[in-house]
Amino acid sequence: MSDHSNHSKVLLQECFCWDCESCGYRNIAFWIARELSSKHIERLRRKGKRIGQSYWFVESPQRVQCASCEAEFDCLPFVAE
Ligand SMILES: [Zn+2]
């Protein structure tokens, strides 16, 4: 194996990939982080969930746009396999 110690490093991030139906370009889409409103947090607490002052969750995008041809698509719900 060659010595890669002089190479700088990058941080890999989790994301989705999808193929454009119009031009075939392989795109990537990132998770979207959302902060729950205080109202929503209160509702969860009433249901017995133990959560802090702020709470973040991530979700897949609902709509994406191709980076190559700019066509837009609605996303099917993400289901982890
Ligand atoms: Zn495209």
47 CA → ligand 1 middle, Å: 44
Inside any domain, residue 81: no
Inside any domain, residue 8: no
Inside any domain, residue 79: no
pTM above 0.75, yes or no: no
74 CA → ligand 1 middle, Å: 13
Inside any domain, residue 40: yes
Summarised one tens digit per residue, pLDDT across range 55-70 is 777 788 999 999 999 9
70 CA → ligand 1 middle, Å: 6
pLDDT band (50, 70, 90) for residue 29: very high
* Domains held by the chain: number: 1
Inside any domain, residue 5: no
Angle (CA) 74-65-33 rounded to 5° is 75
Question: Which residues span the domain enclosing 21?
Answer: 15-74
d(CA 30, CA 57): 13
Asked if 80 and 36 touch (Cβ cutoff 8 Å), the reply is: no
76 CA → ligand 1 middle, Å: 17
